[in-house]
Amino acid sequence: MSLPESGHPIIFTNGDNDTFPLWYCQETEGFRTDARVCNLSYLQTDWYIDQMKRPAYDSPSVPISWKRIDYVSGTREGIPVRPGLLEQVLDYYKDDPEMLRALVGDNPYELSNVIKHWILSDDPDMQVFPTDSMVITVDKEAVRRSGMMMAGDSIPDVMPISLKGKRAVYKSEMMIYEMLARCNWERPIFVALTVGSDNYGNLGRNFVQEGLANRITPWDTEQTGRDIDVDRMYDNLMHKFRFGGIDNPDIYLDETVMRMCWTHRRLFATLAEALVERGDTVRALEVVRRAEEAVPAATVPHNYNSGSIELARVWALAGEAETADRICCAVATSCAEYLEWYAHMSPHMQKLSSRDIMVSIYYFDRVLDVMMIYGGSRLNAFDEKLSYYNRLFQTLY
């Protein structure tokens, strides 16, 4: 995350594995006590919102202005989304602007006005999201002061928030919106990389990745194509992150810990690919070498879902064919072993496992694409294997 002087950041987490290590760092190591860890699973409860509204360590309270009666257990657990309702109100009161302003505010689509006039209304019938399209007016000077990466050529006037496809907004998401409406960009808000897309209120289009966390920005980064702060991410991975124990073969890595190791390897792969796209092969090679040291194959074997294919592609594009081939062969062998296992199943079990079979075939094909870059030593042999499994499982397609 951003440095302490950047305004007491808030980071949203969701599960035990992305929350408890951060609590340990603060409580035991005294590290980054300026930051606030906010667990979205707990943020659905009144007692935890109470905690967030109090200072903790060196972090001030999070910006939630709701009275306790507005979020007490059993209240506003889920607010329905009613697209088109706001437009009906605007049309009905179009000849009475003063009444309209009193009902919905100066800008009826402004997130803070939706919260004030609808969500926090005393009338239960008004406690809805009357539109699936809201905005936050952007304080451009605050954005410039924030230190965030400029994810576009200019700072937008408003940040759109789309609720399209959502039938309801739950309490933890409403708290995210409340904080976002009040932080004014100068208190950075992050979402841990491991938080699932169902939990952060359709804000994924506004993410810029800085490491193991995505920073919420006013830009639609899917449109700008600039969703990684490459320089900050490089500094974090290469100079600030510390890895300990993963390279020790005597330490048992269970399934859960192994998945976290894959997350870290994918992080290196994401950064390395971004550097290659920039034409910065020198730093890309530094990143993939560091990945081999920090998350070694001896303890975290290369496979298709750990970022290994992407790392191999960077090695290949950088002219390091031997290393690329070693990784590609390991991943291709793993895919082939899984497919051979599925091949010995009954037709009924194969049908039940069809998604996993398709995933293995897809990644097997991707490995061969990387091998073609440098002419892999076993390219032809693996190509024949893939053709065999494609024929074998073609009825599942």
pLDDT digits (tens, 9 = 90+) for 353-387: 999 999 999 999 999 999 999 998 899 999 999 99
Exposed / middle / buried, residue 40 (Cβ in 10 Å: 0-12, 13-18, 19+): buried
The answer to whether residue 193 scores a pLDDT higher than 70 is: yes
% residues pLDDT > 90 (the chain) = 86
Overall average pLDDT of the 83-91 stretch: 94
% residues pLDDT > 70 (the chain) = 98
Separation between Cα atoms, residue 24 and residue 26, nearest integer Å: 5
Q: What is the pLDDT at residue 2?
A: 62
Overall average pLDDT of the 188-198 stretch: 93
Q: What is the pLDDT at residue 102?
A: 87
The answer to whether residue 54 scores a pLDDT higher than 70 is: yes
Q: What is the pLDDT at residue 6?
A: 61
Phi, psi of 256 (to 5 degrees): -65, -45
Separation between Cα atoms, residue 49 and residue 166, nearest integer Å: 23
Q: What is the pLDDT at residue 4?
A: 55
The answer to whether residue 178 scores a pLDDT higher than 80 is: yes
Q: What is the pLDDT at residue 363?
A: 96
Q: 145-164: per-residue pLDDT in tens?
A: 998 999 988 999 999 999 99
pLDDT-based confidence at residue 7 (cuts at 50, 70, 90): confident
Token pair of 220 as six digits = 């639609």
Kindly compute the dihedral angle of the four CA atoms of residues 214, 218, 220, 224, in this order, to the nearest 10 degrees: -90
151, 154, 149: which is closest to 231 by C-alpha? 149
The answer to whether residue 15 scores a pLDDT higher than 90 is: no
Q: What is the pLDDT at residue 100?
A: 87
Q: What is the pLDDT at residue 126?
A: 92
pLDDT-based confidence at residue 186 (cuts at 50, 70, 90): confident
Rg (CA), the chain: 25
pLDDT, averaged across the chain: 93
Overall average pLDDT of the 331-351 stretch: 95
pLDDT-based confidence at residue 105 (cuts at 50, 70, 90): confident
Q: 267-299: per-residue pLDDT in tens?
A: 999 999 999 999 999 999 999 999 999 999 999
148, 181, 183, 192: which is closest to 38 by C-alpha? 192
Strands (E), the chain: 10-13, 36-39, 78-80, 133-137, 158-162, 168-170, 189-192, 207-209, 213-216
Are the CB atoms for 315 and 327 separated by under 8 Å? Answer: yes
Entry pTM: 0.90
CB atoms within 10 A of CB 74: 7
CA atoms within 13 A on the CB side of 73: 5
Q: Which residues are registered as beta bridge partners of 110?
A: 135
Overall average pLDDT of the 51-72 stretch: 95
Of the listed ranges 23-32, 48-57, 92-101, 123-132, the one predicted with least confidence: 92-101
316, 350, 357, 318: which is closest to 336 by C-alpha? 357
Q: Which residue has the tokens 């954005």?
A: 143
Amino acid identity for residue 295 in this structure: V
Strands 189-192 and 10-13: parallel
Overall average pLDDT of the 176-200 stretch: 93
Q: What is the pLDDT at residue 17?
A: 86
